């Protein structure tokens, strides 16, 4: 078995597709016009941005006027949450979950420091937010609920449509960080009663540095920056034309190929999960069925995640872990801790996220490498029970 | 992130495993990140005749443990006692700044083992 490079960290970022690069290239070379210019190069760029806006809207079941391009998921989350908060007459109440990405969590913490009331909802052992806990958290001052569509670490898919219906019924805005979900699972902002949604192109084989915010018509948002009239003043600054074109093309392709891709990835995912659980003293993190098609997250008892990643990397496999030691912080994953996973298991977590390029052979190789590596690290571990 | 020497000690750790007939076992744990290390010593006269380790921790912790055992083997208890965490990291050719605390484990466990051994001897004499 020869060492070969395998990328299983698609939740971190995914490779740019050839077709997407082709669509982008003209706008990095000959078609360099500024979409705000009146002349023909400008109009050409404007048309490309409009077309990407239409594609993005179509993928979400939205209107093109409701799509605002940003520099990525983080900016979209910031505009959505701060943007609604700043338009409130008083410092009201917002609800989020304790397993959000930091691009939501830390924005909410910032608002809390400014005097807003913030509820960070608990989740169950699968990382699922319940409608009941949301209902209990509601106050007459609640103006926003922000719950991610699917979790980036454990892949749990949240009951977004139910939350949307509840929020709509109560007249509360509903934002969802769908960075991990867009292009992976079907989303329709109308059917799901979503008011605000964040997405990022590089998670679905698009370019880095570009994302979008969907904001339902009528939702009032305060921009983060002042500047020109781009993105209807919500996100001023000359458009990242090539990036936006890439986002539109990548999303179009992702949605088109979703049924087949998700079926394939689920097969690979389930084979990986089965193989890893078979190694013993391994637990699955996240929901067994309400789970992103490409997400595998398991914890190995007695092993530290960073050591596991290092071992895999030496065999050519790129993966990720919720271990503290991988992030440079001292605390293991806030997501795994919120799910009630004990610290040692949280530190021994391994995330494998599949993408278009992964094959059955990759799964075979990973499982073949994993067995001896786990065995070796456990024998080395001060916590591993004596074998004799 | 890690240099070749660190990777080598992680991939081929020296003196790893249990020692059923150890004269003394030392332990250390990092409150900061939860790493745990055990060190086993076989002592002849005042020298460390054999040494083994087991570590639950990241790559840096494992490599530091391995390096420490190489540095301590054959030394007198007095000499081995003077090995500091910094010495271990330096001998490894350096660790990333965020990983320096991972090397603390190793020398601490050795100190613990030596202290226990000497305390035990004192106990036996009195």
Q: What is the pLDDT of residue B120?
A: 86
Provide the shortest C-alpha distance from residue B79 to chain A (in Å): 25
Checking if the pLDDT of B122 tops 80, the result is no
> Is residue B23 domain-resident?
yes
> Is residue B59 domain-resident?
yes
CA-nearest residue to A331 within chain B is B33
- Cα separation, A342 vs A334, in Å, equals 12
> Is residue B56 domain-resident?
yes
Checking if the pLDDT of B47 tops 70, the result is yes
Whether the CB-CB separation of A179 and A198 falls below 8 Å is answered with yes
CA-nearest residue to A379 within chain B is B17
Checking if the pLDDT of B31 tops 70, the result is no
Q: Is any Cβ of chain B less than 8 angstroms from the Cβ of A261?
A: no
Q: Taking CB atoms and an 8 Å limit, are A307 and B102 in contact across chains?
A: no
Q: Is any Cβ of chain A less than 8 angstroms from the Cβ of B13?
A: yes
Q: What is the pLDDT of residue A388?
A: 46
Provide the shortest C-alpha distance from residue B27 to chain A (in Å): 9
Extract the residue ranges of chain A whose pLDDT is less than 50.
Answer: 388
- Per-residue model confidence as pLDDT tens digits over B54-68: 999 999 999 999 999
User: Which of B16, B17, B33 lies closest to A330 in CB terms?
Assistant: B33
Residues of chain B neighbouring A302 (CB-CB closer than 8 A) = 56
Q: Taking CB atoms and an 8 Å limit, are A303 and B56 in contact across chains?
A: yes
Where does the pLDDT of residue B121 fall: very low under 50, low under 70, confident under 90, or very high at 90 and above?
confident
* Residue/partner pairs of A11-14 with CB below 8 Å, 24 or more apart: A11/A152, A11/A153, A11/A155, A11/A180, A11/A203, A11/A294, A11/A295, A11/A320, A11/A351, A11/A353, A12/A320, A12/A353, A13/A202, A13/A203, A13/A208, A14/A202, A14/A203, A14/A204, A14/A205, A14/A355, A14/A356
Checking if the pLDDT of B17 tops 90, the result is yes
> Is residue B124 domain-resident?
no
> Is residue B25 domain-resident?
yes
- What part of A 192-221 touches B (C-beta under 8 Å)? none
> Is residue B125 domain-resident?
no
Whether the CB-CB separation of A336 and A322 falls below 8 Å is answered with yes
Query: Which residue out of B16, B23, B33, B75 is catalytically annotated?
Result: B33
Q: What is the pLDDT of residue B32?
A: 62
Q: Taking CB atoms and an 8 Å limit, are B32 and A347 in contact across chains?
A: no
| 3-state SS, residue B58 | coil
- Reply yes or no on whether B58 is catalytic: no
> Is residue B76 domain-resident?
yes
| 3-state SS, residue B51 | strand
Provide the shortest C-alpha distance from residue A331 to chain B (in Å): 7
User: Which of A306, A326, A381 lies closest to B55 in CB terms?
Assistant: A381
Provide the shortest C-alpha distance from residue B17 to chain A (in Å): 6
Q: What is the pLDDT of residue B102?
A: 78
Average the pLDDT over B69-96 and give the result: 94
* Enclosing H/E stretch for B43: strand B36-44
Q: What is the pLDDT of residue A384?
A: 86
- Mutate which of A382, A386, A388 to disrupt the B interface (most B C-beta within 10 Å)? A382
Neighbours of A129 (CB within 10 A): 27
Spans of all domains in chain A: 6-14+258-380, 18-253
- Cα separation, A256 vs A101, in Å, equals 27
pTM (predicted TM-score): 0.94
ipTM: 0.88
List the CATH code of the domain at A18-253. Answer: 3.40.640.10
Residues of chain B neighbouring A311 (CB-CB closer than 8 A) = 10
Q: In total, how many domains does chain B have?
A: 1
- What part of B 35-94 touches A (C-beta under 8 Å)? 35-38, 54-62
**What CATH class has A6-14+258-380?**
alpha beta
| Of B99 and A70, the one with more pLDDT | A70
Q: Taking CB atoms and an 8 Å limit, are B2 and A307 in contact across chains?
A: no
- Cα separation, B8 vs B78, in Å, equals 28
Q: Taking CB atoms and an 8 Å limit, are B60 and A325 in contact across chains?
A: yes
The domain of B97 spans: 4-118
Q: Is any Cβ of chain A less than 8 angstroms from the Cβ of B104?
A: no
- Picking from B58, B72, B1, B67, the residue whose alpha carbon sits closest to that of residue B30 is B58
The domain that holds B99 is classified in CATH as 3.90.1010.10
């Amino acid at each position: 078995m020869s060492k070969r490079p395998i990328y299983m960290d698609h939740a971190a970022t995914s490779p740019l597709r050839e077709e997407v690069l082709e669509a982008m290239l003209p706008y990095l070379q000959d078609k360099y016009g500024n979409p705000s210019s009146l002349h023909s190069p400008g109009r050409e760029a404007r048309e490309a941005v409009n077309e990407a806006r239409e594609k993005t809207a179509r993928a979400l079941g939205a209107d093109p006027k409701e799509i605002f391009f940003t520099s990525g998921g983080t900016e979209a989350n910031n505009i959505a949450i701060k943007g609604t908060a700043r338009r409130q007459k008083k410092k009201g109440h917002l609800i989020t979950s304790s397993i959000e990405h930091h691009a939501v969590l830390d924005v909410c913490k910032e608002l809390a420091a400014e005097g807003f009331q913030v509820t960070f909802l608990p989740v169950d052992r699968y990382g699922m937010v319940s409608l009941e806990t949301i209902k209990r958290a509601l106050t007459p001052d609640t103006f926003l609920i922000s719950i991610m569509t699917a979790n980036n670490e454990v892949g749990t898919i949240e009951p977004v449509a139910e939350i949307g219906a509840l929020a709509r019924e109560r007249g509360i805005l509903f934002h969802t960080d769908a960075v991990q979900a867009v292009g992976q699972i079907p989303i329709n902002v109308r059917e799901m009663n979503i008011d605000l949604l964040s997405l990022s192109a590089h998670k679905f084989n698009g370019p880095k540095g570009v994302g979008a915010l969907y904001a339902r018509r009528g939702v009032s948002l305060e921009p983060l920056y002042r500047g020109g009239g781009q993105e209807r003043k919500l996100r001023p600054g000359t458009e990242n034309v090539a990036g936006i074109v890439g986002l539109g093309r990548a999303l179009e392709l992702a949605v088109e190929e979703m049924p087949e891709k998700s079926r394939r990835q689920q097969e690979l995912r389930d084979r990986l999960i089965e193989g890893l659980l078979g190694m013993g003293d391994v637990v699955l993190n996240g929901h067994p069925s309400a789970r992103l098609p490409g997400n595998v997250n398991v914890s190995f008892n007695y092993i530290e995640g960073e050591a596991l990643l290092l071992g895999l990397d030496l065999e050519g496999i790129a993966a990720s872990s919720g271990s503290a030691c991988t992030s440079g912080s001292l605390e293991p994953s806030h997501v795994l801790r919120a799910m009630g996973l004990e610290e040692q298991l949280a530190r021994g977590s391994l995330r494998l996220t599949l993408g278009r390029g992964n094959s059955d052979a990759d799964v075979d190789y990973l499982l073949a490498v994993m067995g001896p590596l786990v065995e070796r690290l456990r024998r080395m571990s001060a916590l591993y029970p004596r074998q004799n | 992130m890690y240099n070749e020497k660190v990777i080598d000690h992680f991939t081929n750790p020296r003196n790893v495993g249990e020692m059923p007939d150890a004269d003394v076992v030392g332990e250390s744990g990092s409150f900061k990140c939860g790493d745990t290390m055990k060190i086993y010593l076989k002592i002849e006269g005042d020298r460390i005749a054999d040494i083994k380790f087991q570590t639950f921790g990241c790559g840096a912790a494992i490599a530091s443990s391995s390096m420490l055992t190489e540095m301590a083997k054959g030394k007198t208890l007095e000499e081995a006692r003077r090995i500091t965490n910094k010495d271990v990291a330096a001998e490894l050719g350096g660790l990333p700044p965020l990983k320096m605390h991972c090397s603390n484990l190793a020398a601490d466990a050795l100190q613990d083992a030596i202290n226990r051994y000497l305390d035990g001897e004192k106990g036996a004499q009195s």
